[in-house]
Amino acid sequence: MEPQESDKAFFDGRGCLTREGLAALAAAPTGAGPRSVALHVASCARCQQQLLALSEGENPVPAAPRRDAGGSRRWLYLGLLLGVMLLALTALMVTLAHLGRP
């Protein structure tokens, strides 16, 4: 579910709750918190941990930057492409060598 326009201030760029969003949910009476915030917490383990830390009087852990998983995949695809190109070049050279025999 997409957050309502009034609740967008409670979410960061990654879609997780900000400190304000966690505080709004913690301060609201049971069942009366912002609906989009409550629905997000129900499905996000990271935000659940943050909310528990806040309720136990601890400071929520700041959001860790996401590691770009696409970077390692790019190297994998580049290596596969290079391997296929080398295999094709080798096959071409072997074919030309056999065609050049008398």
90 within a domain of the structure (yes/no): yes
pLDDT band (50, 70, 90) for residue 24: confident
Predicted local confidence at residue 18, as pLDDT:
81
Q: Print the domain residue range for 101.
A: 75-102
pLDDT band (50, 70, 90) for residue 4: low
63 within a domain of the structure (yes/no): no
Highest mean pLDDT among 8-12, 22-26, 41-45: 41-45
66 within a domain of the structure (yes/no): no
The b-or-e profile of 20-38 (16+ CB within 10 A means b, else e) is ebbebbeeeeeeebbebbe
Contact assessment for residue 18 and residue 9, using Cβ atoms and an 8 Å cutoff = yes
Number of domains present in the structure of the chain? 2
Q: What are the tens digits of pLDDT across the range 39-51?
A: 888 888 888 888 8
Same domain, 50 and 91: no
d(CA 46, CA 99): 63
64 within a domain of the structure (yes/no): no
Same domain, 12 and 51: yes
95 within a domain of the structure (yes/no): yes
pLDDT at 12 over 90: no
82 within a domain of the structure (yes/no): yes
Predicted local confidence at residue 77, as pLDDT:
92
62 within a domain of the structure (yes/no): no
Q: What are the tens digits of pLDDT across the range 54-96?
A: 777 666 555 555 555 566 788 899 999 999 999 999 999 999 9
